[in-house]
Amino acid sequence: MFDYLEASARCEELELPKGEFVATYCKSYKKLMAIMSGIAIAIGGTLMFFWDVAILFLLLGLCLLSLLPTFFSYKCLINKELMEEEYFILFFKKKKIIYWRDVKYKKVKIGGRNKSITLYGANKKRLISFDELIVGFERVITLAKRNAIKEKSNLI
């Protein structure tokens, strides 16, 4: 399933315009999260006679449901100068602007299941991170290489 989601994100990445682009979660991942929250709530609703199990599934479904606004609203405008991240946490809008000139270190994890890139500032504080389910992940890695951002080998 995870391989399918990764492949879906890579296919969507091919449709991104050259130059400036908007990174978002892939459509398949958003649909999967919505379906999983619905299934968890439905299972919890049908298992009401097993109270403990029903509560567990209902809470799981509600937690997933509360994360949906974040996954559906996440977008990050990326160009050669900056990254402008914007998303909702429930009903509260979060916005952050990171300039490429402020990024001094990167940590890229390619091996294994969880591929990601995390970008750090001069004070070794995490600025932003992307995983492989973000459409535009490979282009962010390419931009980090082009900007000659040093590899961060040790977190202190």
Please report, in tens digits, the pLDDT of each residue of the chain (156 residues total): 667 787 788 888 888 888 899 999 999 989 998 998 888 888 887 887 777 788 888 888 888 889 899 999 999 999 999 999 999 998 899 999 999 999 999 998 887 778 899 999 989 899 999 999 899 998 999 898 888 888 876 544
pTM over 0.85: no
Neighbours of 50 (CB within 10 A): 12
- Cα(103)–Cα(144) distance, integer angstroms: 9
Residues across the chain: 156
Name residues whose C-beta falls within 8 Å of residue 74's C-beta, 6 or more positions apart in sequence. 24, 25, 85, 86, 87
- Cα(108)–Cα(114) distance, integer angstroms: 10
